[in-house]
Structure 1
Amino acid sequence: MISDEVLDRVAHGAYHAPHDVLGLHEERDAADRTFWAVRARRPLAETVTAVFTDGDRVPLTHVRSGVWEGRRDGRPGPYVLQTTYPDGPGFASDDPYRHLPTLGELDLHLIGEGRHERLWDVLGAHVREHGGTDGTSFAVWAPDAQAVRVVGDFNSWDGAGHAMRSLGSSGVWELFIPDIGVGTVYKYEILTPESRWILKADPMARRAETPPATGSVVTASAYRWNDDDWMAARASAPPVSRPMSAYELHVGSWRPGLGYRDLVDPLIAHVRELGFTHVEFLPLSEHPFGGSWGYQVSGYYAPTSRFGSPDDLRYLIDRLHQAGIGVIMDWVPGHFPKDDFALGRFDGRPLYEHPDPRRGEHKDWGTFIFDYGRNEVRNFLVANALYWLDEFHVDGLRVDAVASMLYLDYSRNDGEWEPNIHGGRENLEAIRFLQETNATAYRLHPGIAMIAEESTSYPGVTAPTSAGGLGFGFKWNMGWMNDSLVYIERDPLYRSHHAGDLSFSFVYAFSENFILPISHDEVVHGKGSLLAKMPGDHWQKLANMRAFLAYMWAHPGKQLLFMGQEFGQLSEWSEDRSLDWWLLDQPSHRQLQQFVAALNARYLEHPPLWARDHDAAAFTRLGAPVWDPNVLAFSREDGDGGMLVAVCNFAGTVLDGVELDFPRPGLWHEVLNSDASAYGGSGVGNLGAVTADANGRARLVLPPLGVLWLVPD
């Protein structure tokens, strides 16, 4: 007793509940006898027969629009459909519509509540055995859709025969398709509320086609990790009390042409030679436009296929861990692009994005903003952070553009934004989202680092959520970066008038857990490379560079340096070409790289530089008896008796006989001299040591554009 209208919609793949019609259903005839109705969609077929595993054969009769029906009086059971066509061979196939849903009620409840911490296990495409058959299950959230179909190379991109079922008020659609597996390219075809079919990539796809292709790809991981020792050690202590110097890189231009697996050996060799503790990858989630560097994401759960498969990325991270190198990845929950195939207007209406353009669009970037107040959207993002931490063992996520998420008036004029319920400018939903993400990530993955790129003075970015903070482990110190670069770009002749640019960071150095970034953002868009910013001739530029880096490594906070700056890249970075590796053939640039290696080696050897990085009591500004505006000196302590003094001379001349009060009397050894001849400097110093008298006072020779690190005997 199925209406013609329903049969027609089923035949066209436009019915929201195809499993209610197709498949095997218990029904009653006119004499009130129970039987099993078997229905299948087989347009243009000549005959259709349901063959049950017990041997019973049930011929089906064509009813309407390619829908066939038969009757079985025995017990229900698995079956296949044998179909013949005029002038063509017959074939047997399992029926997608005989299978139960692959999501349970608990899954749907957690999705609706926004609390499914392993969302990627239930949504998306999953190769599995289901109902005695191998195949792939598909599930997607599209609450405003009238119908959803799976299309792909397996059905010649005609989804009428693979309509999904709606799982009620959850907004989730589901279908198990037998006999397809890894490598299948697919998309979702969605019938919008306006009765228009649109084609979308899977938001939960764990692999995507290589751009410019935009299909999703069925995948399954067979990877076996070998980093148990690393993971156990990581969980034993928070990173704030450990050394961290990160090497930031863009995979596509570090050495162009290398995939995830090709990258392993040269990257490990380079990072170990330099002594960095971590690498930080620019975003590796799938993105349509390479020129976005990964910051406009279309596939949040799919590592970009430009460099290989998801398991290839797992191999890269595993090998880095085995080499003792941590992995941080940039993560972009602040906005997403408007490409038609991706998240925007996913089911025909605003879904992932906020429906109010005052909250849902970044006009500067031409992107959409997530609706952080919607449970399912918040869940999508929180679970995505957990996905990278769990499935790929990344040691931290650096969250991009946090300031744009925190403020409703970010980059907006009056009248272009709407205040929150209290009349303020803070985005309360985004704040709660960030707090939930951080609290959940740290609860499930102790020892990781959640890092905020936050450029304002928002309070408590690294304060715990229990105290009302955002709960990040670290915050990029953008103020230090701006002030220090403004200072170091000045001619040494005029620096004495701007000493405050360099020392102001000490006023707030311990207000948050900071990372000092010289990132990709500082060497693009006409800003030039770090070396190019330095004043003077080539020798002076290199000396300024060494002094700046030595000051940076000694300053409270962890460090991050973008690729190419370690050897003095001359040209501005471009994602379209390789770094200027040829510069390492020049002795002065090779010496700069050797200096960076020495910096990291001394850094790791001396806990005062990192053990109490964010404790003001472990830091003392030095300068008495005379404060020289070109000299910046301070001491660091580790709490176990270890000390280190950094003395920076940013003048272009040697300063002889400089008096400085040290924290304790006795012999102090130079463990680093940025002006050492081995690094291309002039070799000015103190013969390796200075002696502080009974009052702690010592006389030093400070090299030009040079920095000394000294430790007590």
Structure 2
Amino acid sequence: MTASSPSVLPIDPAILAQIAHGEHGDPHAVLGPHPHDGGVTVRVLKPLAKSVTVRYRLPAPTRKNPDGWAAVDLAHEHEGVWAGVLPVADVPAYRLEVAYEGSEPMERDDPYRFLPTLGEVDLHLIGEGRHEQLWTVLGAHVHRYDGLGVAPDVTGTAFAVWAPRARAVRLKADFNSWDGREHPMRQLGSSGIWELFVPGVGSGTTYKYVILGADGVWREKADPMAAWAEVPPQTASRVFDSAYEWGDDEWMAARASRGQVDAPMSIYEMHLASWRRDRSYAQLADELVPYLSDLGFTHVELMPVMQHPFGGSWGYHVTGYYAPDSRFGDPDGLRLLIDRLHQAGIGVILDWVPGHFATDPWALVQFDGAPLYEDPNPQRGWHKEWGSHIFDFGRREVRNFLYGNALYWLEEFHADGLRVDGVASMLYLDYAREPGEWTPNIHGGHENLEAVQFLQELNATAYKRVPGISMIAEESTAWPGVTQPTSAGGLGFGFKWNMGWMHDTLQYLQRDPIHRAYHHGEMTFSLVYAWSENYVLPLSHDEVVHGKGSLLRKMPGDRWRQLATLRAYYAFMWAHPGKQMLFMGSEFGQEAEWAESRELDWWLLDHPEHRGLRDALRDINARYRESPAIWRSDADPGSFAWVEADDAAGNVFAFVRRSGDDEILSATNFAAMPHHGYRLGFPGDGEWEECLNTDAEAYGGSGVGNLGAVTAVAGEHKGWPAHAEVVLPPLSTVWFRRKR
């Protein structure tokens, strides 16, 4: 180099040492191109390289370089840092040619010559905790830079992670042989966001972040915002660039314009891994869609499909909130499953767990060396009952992470709703805590005010951005206003699980019919509060595990009585105010208690009596969907009236559901003997069709019934203007509809 040649931009050796050791918060300030002294200094971090050359674009071709490109060899400067000067005034397009011992030189782009992929608005919204599409800027995203005609286009992946207390962050991946030294990330101002664009990296790449915490310890972490992950027990994140083209436009347009409380909703809850074993998302789409279509469910609720390392947690101990479970395939596989369900007219509700998260050290726990996602107060940050960490609901960035995650599933995966797990555990500071293990809030109460704010923010934002969806709370206490709008001080959910109904009815039915007379009120009490919230009646997975036995085995008597009781129970449940949910296997009388490690007892369908239960439920769903009397006015107490609520000795429950001119009278006999000539009040005289009878022979019943119809005659009976003498078969529910 001549005396007149531009010189290398000098850098303090201590700073070069920080770069080499991955401890510099802004490596782009040192690495990459930097104009200096009439030239452009290029520094490159390649610790194991034998030589590094920069090939750069000249302002114009020369006789020596007719193709318009020239080259400069870099000199090793300090512990893997290479430096040299390009004799041009402005930063040109350039590429690196790197050679390692025993291999030919490889040409690649320099990550440190690219601008950040997050803008100022993104950083501002993240700082405010109000970035409603957080997943579009954090995580890993395939990105393309235009070469503008002077250089080839560059495609790579932009990585960005929130780690505000980190002293440094490196990117460790398959593209750098899992050696993070080559890819230190830069911190974007005071935002706490660390970012790096890596050229040549695409979908399928596996990676982790290596984070130097404030405590001086390096930790390897999966990406909290990763869209995909390795199959457990492997723990790395994966880049994913979706290419899925949706086919559910008709469904989505209709969903946005309809309500949910005044629509039919019967939900099939399922655990993907144990419905049938060893199925992919695509295989489930082929098998599940026709199965649910035949049964007539309006919705399916999937137990958590977010990435979780331990299958025995059923998905409730999440490590990857933005990544669908990779055990079943890639994220577009889940999109396919949801799309196919939508095209068949079936809505999809995803079970979602914002109350607590898994303890795995490679995931969210002490992410940047100290509590970040978890509440730092041990009285609020640890869930004794579930052995997991509780989110810091008082931190706006954490709330943003969570409600952004809800929007992610609703928008990116077209989910029709979220069932929010463990709401009660979020609402109360003393949940599962003894006196002395919790501290009252600023008003002296036991309410977690920050969690309340989060839930209100979550629901208001979700309903604003995604019309037509349903937010469903698993809330087991008497917290007021769970389904009241946030504008009225409520939590803003669309529905709440009615745990009291589930507990009372199962307690009643587990008794022998001869003893049920003394517990009649357990079946009628739910109507005292049925309109205090918008309810879902849940018979969930929680009722068929941990020694509780299957629904079938809860029922007393021989197999005939067990199946008959379930048929009657389901029809009673479907006619009751509220929406319905049934856990998989219960539709055909699963005998064994549910276990996530094996599939359902499908062999039971080889037995006519179990096929009969399934067929009965199919017909219950069909009659339900064609009967707006049952579902259209669910939120209106006027849609329900008791016909017979006090016949404890006969184990009889009868009521009318109505909406407009549609009326259904449901009569249930939970006694083991038929009632002949049983006088029931009717809303009007004339012929009433027996549109459903769970004791029909086709279902495995005894075939006792009303020959298809009854005729009600004028004459008051228990406050009703007409009455009829009917037959109530044993352990059965009968629905009557006025003939039109």
TM over 0.5: yes
Distance change (3 Å), C-alpha of 1:526 and 1:47: closer
Partner of 1:196: 217
Q: Which residue of 2 aligns with 1:109?
A: 124
- Residue 131 of structure 1 deviates from its aligned partner by 6.0
Q: Whole-Å Cα distance in 2 between the matches of residues 272 and 225 of structure 1?
A: 20
Matches within 5 A, 1:218-233: 218-233=239-254
Pick from 75, 98, 103 the counterpart of residue 83 of structure 1. 98
Match of 1:6 among 3, 8, 15: 15
2:61 corresponds to:
none
Among 523, 530, 533, the alignment partner of 1:512 is 533
- The offset of 1:85, in angstroms, is 4.7
* Map of 1:17 onto structure 2: 26
Aligned to 1:340: 361
**Larger deviation: 17-26 or 282-291?**
17-26
Tell me how far apart the structure 1 counterparts of residues 622 and 53 of structure 2 sit (CA, whole Å): 74
- C-alpha displacement of 1:592: 0.8
Q: Which residue, 405, 429, 433 being the options, matches 1:384?
A: 405
User: Structure 1 counterpart of 2:43, which letter?
Assistant: R
1:218–1:492 CA distance, 2 compared to 1 (3 A)? same
2:173 and 2:647 mapped to 1: Cα distance?
75
For the structure 1 residues 593 and 123, does the alpha-carbon distance in structure 2 shift closer, same or farther, using more than 3 Å as the test? same
CA offsets 1:329-363 (integer angstroms, 9 cap, x no match): 10000100110111011111000000001010001
Distance 1:626 1:336, change over 3 A: closer
Q: TM-score, normalised by structure 2?
A: 0.94
* Cα distance between partner residues in 2 of 1:425 and 1:234: 38
| Structure 1 residue matching 2:261: 3-state secondary structure | helix
**Matched residue, 2:671:** 651
1:13 partner letter: G
Q: Deviations over 1:675-697 (max 9, x none)?
A: 11111111112222222221312
1:352-391 matches, cutoff 5 A: 352-391=373-412
Which position in structure 1 is the counterpart of 2:733? 707
Aligned partners of 2:40, 2:146: CA distance in 1, in Å? 18
SS of residue matched to 1:438: helix
Q: Is 1:301 matched up with 2:316?
A: no
Q: What corresponds to 1:592 in structure 2?
A: 613
SS at match of 2:562: helix
SS in structure 1 at match of 2:533: coil
8 Å CA contact retained: 2:645, 2:652: no
In the alignment, which residue of structure 2 is the partner of 1:61? 75
| Structure-2 change in CA distance of 1:662 and 1:432 (3 Å) | same
Larger mean CA deviation between 75-84 and 225-234 belongs to: 75-84
Partner SS for 1:622: strand
Deviations 1:350-405 (A, max 9, x none): 00000001010001211000001111100000110000011111111100111000
The match for 1:170 among 182, 191, 197 is 191
Say whether residues 1:454 and 2:475 are aligned partners. Answer: yes
Structure 2: give runs of 5+ residues left out of the alignment: 1-9, 59-68, 148-153, 716-721
Choose the corresponding residue for 1:465, options 478, 486, 506: 486
For 1:257, what is the secondary structure of its paired residue?
Answer: coil
Query: 1:40 matched to which residue of 2?
Result: 44
Shift of 1:703: 1.0
Residue 95 of structure 1, aligned match among 101, 110, 115: 110
Cα 1:45–1:662 change in 2 (3 A) is: closer
The CA deviation string for residues 273-294 of structure 1, in whole angstroms up to 9 with x for no partner, is 1111111110000000000111
Q: What secondary structure, in the 3-state scheme, does the structure 1 residue paired with 2:74 have?
A: strand
Q: Are 2:498 and 1:494 aligned?
A: no
Which one-letter code corresponds to 1:700 in the other structure?
A: V
Instruction: Determine helix, strand or coil for the equivalent of 1:89.
Output: coil
Q: Measure how far apart 1:183 and its partner are.
A: 1.1
TM-superposed CA distance for 1:43, in Å, is 3.0
Question: Structure 1, residues 300-352: CA drift from partner, whole Å, max 9, x if none?
Answer: 00000100110011111111111111111100001001101110111110000
Deviations 1:189-242 (A, max 9, x none): 001111111100000000000001001011100000000001111111111111
Task: Give 5+ residue unaligned stretches, structure 1.
Answer: none
CA contact (8 A) 1:287 1:297 kept: yes
* SS of residue in 2 equivalent to 1:635: strand
CA RMSD of aligned residues (A): 1.4
Q: Is the counterpart of residue 503 in structure 1 residue 524 in structure 2? A: yes
Residues of 2 paired with 1:240 and 1:436: CA distance?
A: 21
The residue type equivalent to 1:686 in the other structure is N
The offset of 1:701, in angstroms, is 1.7
Q: Structure 1 residue 624: deviation in Å?
A: 8.3
CA shift at 1:69, angstroms? 2.1
C-alpha contact 2:645 2:653 (8 A) present in aligned 1: no
Aligned length: 707
Q: How much has 1:63 moved relative to structure 2?
A: 2.4
Cα distance in 2, alignment partners of residues 266 and 477 from structure 1: 31
Output the CA distance in 2 between the equivalents of 1:47 and 1:306: 42
2-side partners of 1:53 and 1:420: how far apart?
64
Q: Which whole-Å CA distance do the structure 2 matches of 1:609 and 1:85 have between them? A: 73
8 Å contact 2:441–2:449 — kept in the other structure? yes
Match of 2:680 in 1: 660
Contact 2:132 2:407 in 1 (8 A): yes
SS at match of 2:532: coil
Alpha-carbon offset, residue 461 of structure 1: 0.6
Shift of 1:656: 1.9
TM-score by length of 1: 0.97
Match of 2:159 among 123, 138, 143: 138
Moved over 4 A (4+): 85-88, 624-629
Q: SS at the partner of 2:566?
A: helix
Q: Shift in Å at residue 89 of structure 1?
A: 2.5
SS at match of 1:647: strand
Q: Which amino acid aligns with 2:83?
A: E
Aligned letter for 1:167? Answer: L
Q: Which residue is equivalent to 2:633?
A: 612
Deviation at 1:68, TM superposition (A): 2.2
1:142-161 equivalent positions in 2, closer than 5 A: 142-161=163-182
Per the TM alignment, residue 9 of structure 1 is displaced from its structure 2 partner at its CA by 1.2
Counterparts of 2:133 and 2:576, CA distance in 1: 40
2:56 maps to which of 46, 52, 59: 52
Give the drift of 1:14: 2.0
Tell me, in whole angstroms, the C-alpha distance in 1 between the residues paired with 2:583 and 2:353: 19
**Alignment of 1:418 onto 2:439:** yes
Amino acid at match of 1:703: P
**What's the offset of the Cα at 1:49?**
2.6
> Partner of 2:577 in structure 1?
556
Closer/same/farther in 2, CA of residues 228 and 25 from structure 1, 3 Å limit: same
Q: Give the Å deviation of 1:6.
A: 0.9
Q: CA deviation at 1:47?
A: 3.7
Residue 160 of structure 1 aligns to a residue whose secondary structure is helix
Query: Which amino acid is the alignment partner of residue 77 of structure 1?
Result: P
Alpha carbons 1:625, 1:659 under 8 Å: kept: no
Secondary structure class of the residue paired with 1:683: coil
Whether contact under 8 Å (1:624, 1:661) holds in the other structure is no
* Residue in 1 that maps onto 2:275: 254
Conservation of the 8 A alpha-carbon contact between 1:99 and 1:131: no
Q: Give secondary structure in 2 for the equivalent of 1:469.
A: coil
- State the distance in 2 between where 1:614 and 1:536 align: 37
Equivalent position of 1:686 in the other structure: 706
Is the contact made by 1:111 and 1:376 (CA closer than 8 Å) also made in structure 2? Answer: yes
Partner SS for 2:300: strand
Q: For the residues of structure 2 that align with 1:637 and 1:506, how far apart are their CA atoms?
A: 15
**Contact 2:688–2:737, Cα closer than 8 Å, also in 1:** yes
Q: Which moved more, 1:513-522 or 1:83-92?
A: 83-92
Q: Residue 432 of structure 1 is aligned with which of 453, 461, 470?
A: 453
Per-residue CA deviations over 1:517-536 (Å, capped at 9, x if unaligned) read 10111001101110100011
Moved more, 354-363 or 666-675: 666-675
Could you say which residue in structure 2 is the equivalent of 1:128? 143
The aligned counterpart of 2:64 is none
SS at match of 2:290: helix
Give the SS at the match of 1:264. helix
